[in-house]
């Protein structure tokens, strides 16, 4: 986890986006986007005439004259909606890698068919955003204040003038709650929630949860550590704020928990360790941050890492700290952890 990507812990003003030339004209052209009162619009086909409204996780109800057609979203949200048959027009957040391929957070989206407004923290092209004539902007939120993930703090007011926003919380709740909220949002936007692929994915998720619960029950002494790496530091995540870890813990997985005092400087999310102290906690399985901003296990050459019992035993798996909130994309998260527990040996 790079320090920039770790800022969802403090949400301080490191977002950077310059003023756009001609933004005033763009704002005037887009209007205020205020819709009339209407029903929930659940199950409505996108583009169909009639009002649309959705109450998000900030308690804010967005109302429009019709179901949004021009949707702009954080990349992971766009990927989740894609799995439900709802296509977004533009995205912001990690979308493409340096070689032009889809980032892990882009899921199954065809990244060549969406307008990328920014591919890294602090990047958000307001002029491009305005040119899309957005009906709504959708992102996740990692705090109680409802701060929109990857929307730059410096330009959030300008961005807010172009279209209303919807936030789906991934803060201090279990994964299943966030999945339910994304399901409701997709349904309201015209997603085909009765499609075989969609209903099958939900069944597979439920089966994977059952498998993980059984694996955790069978191996109660196996300690799991959720980590992330950068060149200067190693991060150990606590479970109390992350949707995936809270859910896995509820299913019975035995996690390493850094003390609150150790997480104080990072808003309660994780503890930062020097590589010399990477063996501070004993673990049998290590789950490592799979985001492109994090140093991946294969690239870690630190001798102290190589000496960890879980590493020597080959008991290192991937973790998605920002899971794509569709049942299809969350099945592998449960399955990989269940399989790791089933095969794990006590090495700590």
Tell me the angle at which helices 175-188 and 327-343 cross, rounded to the nearest 10 degrees: 160
Residue pair 149/13 in contact (Cβ under 8 Å)? The answer is no
pLDDT average per 10 residues of sequence, the chain (348 residues): 38 29 35 34 46 97 97 98 98 95 97 97 97 98 97 97 98 98 98 98 98 98 98 97 98 96 91 97 98 96 98 98 98 98 98
Q: How much of the chain is in helix, strand and coil states, percent to nearest 5?
A: 35, 20, 45
Tokens representing 317 are 């798996």
HSE-CB for 196 with a 13 A CA cutoff: 0
pLDDT of residue 106: 98
Q: What is the SS3 assignment for 201-267?
A: HHHHHHHHHHHHHHHHHHCCCCEEEEEEECCCEEEEECCCCEHHHHHHHHCCCEECCCCHHHHHHHC
> Whole-prediction pTM value?
0.87
pLDDT of residue 49: 54
pLDDT of residue 245: 98
State the first-to-last Cα distance of the chain, in angstroms, to the nearest integer. Answer: 24
pLDDT of residue 20: 29
Q: Tell me how far apart the alpha carbons of residues 156 and 136 are, in angstroms, rounded to a whole number.
A: 14
pLDDT of residue 192: 96
At residue 39, φ and ψ (nearest 5 deg) are -80, -175
Which residue in 194, 148, 168, 164 sits closest to 68, CA to CA? 164
pLDDT of residue 50: 77
Q: Tell me how far apart the alpha carbons of residues 294 and 301 are, in angstroms, rounded to a whole number.
A: 14
Tokens representing 241 are 């704020």
């Amino acid at each position: 986890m790079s320090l920039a990507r770790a800022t969802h812990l403090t949400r301080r003003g490191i977002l950077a986006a310059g003023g756009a030339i001609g933004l005033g004209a763009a704002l005037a052209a887009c209007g205020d986007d205020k819709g009339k009162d209407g029903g929930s619009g659940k199950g409505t086909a996108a583009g169909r005439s009639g009002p649309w409204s959705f109450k998000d996780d900030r308690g804010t109800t967005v109302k429009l004259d019709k179901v949004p057609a021009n949707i702009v979203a954080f990349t992971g949200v766009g990927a989740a909606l894609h799995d439900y048959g709802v296509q977004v027009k533009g995205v912001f957040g990690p979308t493409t890698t340096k070689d032009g391929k889809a980032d892990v957070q882009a899921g199954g989206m065809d990244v060549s068919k969406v307008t990328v407004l920014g591919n890294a923290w602090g990047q958000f092209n307001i002029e491009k955003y305005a040119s899309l004539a957005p009906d709504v902007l959708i992102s996740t939120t990692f705090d109680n204040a409802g701060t929109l993930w990857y929307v730059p703090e410096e330009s959030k007011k300008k961005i807010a003038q172009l279209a209303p926003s919807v936030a789906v919380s991934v803060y201090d709740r279990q994964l299943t709650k966030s999945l339910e909220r994304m399901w409701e949002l997709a349904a309201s936007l015209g997603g085909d929630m009765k499609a075989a692929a969609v209903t099958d994915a939900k069944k597979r998720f439920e089966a994977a949860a059952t498998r993980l619960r059984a694996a955790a029950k069978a191996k109660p002494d196996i300690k799991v550590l959720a980590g992330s790496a950068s060149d200067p530091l190693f991060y150990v995540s606590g479970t109390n704020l992350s949707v995936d870890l809270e859910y896995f813990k509820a299913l019975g997985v035995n996690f390493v928990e850094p003390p609150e005092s150790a997480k104080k400087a990072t808003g309660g999310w994780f503890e930062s360790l020097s590589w010399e102290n990477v063996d501070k906690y004993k673990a049998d399985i290590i789950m490592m941050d799979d985001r492109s901003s994090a140093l991946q296990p294969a690239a870690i050459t630190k001798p102290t890492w190589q000496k960890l019992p879980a590493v020597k035993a080959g008991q290192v798996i991937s973790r998605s700290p920002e899971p794509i909130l569709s049942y299809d994309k969350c099945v592998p998260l449960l399955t990989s952890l269940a399989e790791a527990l089933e095969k794990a040996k006590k090495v700590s």
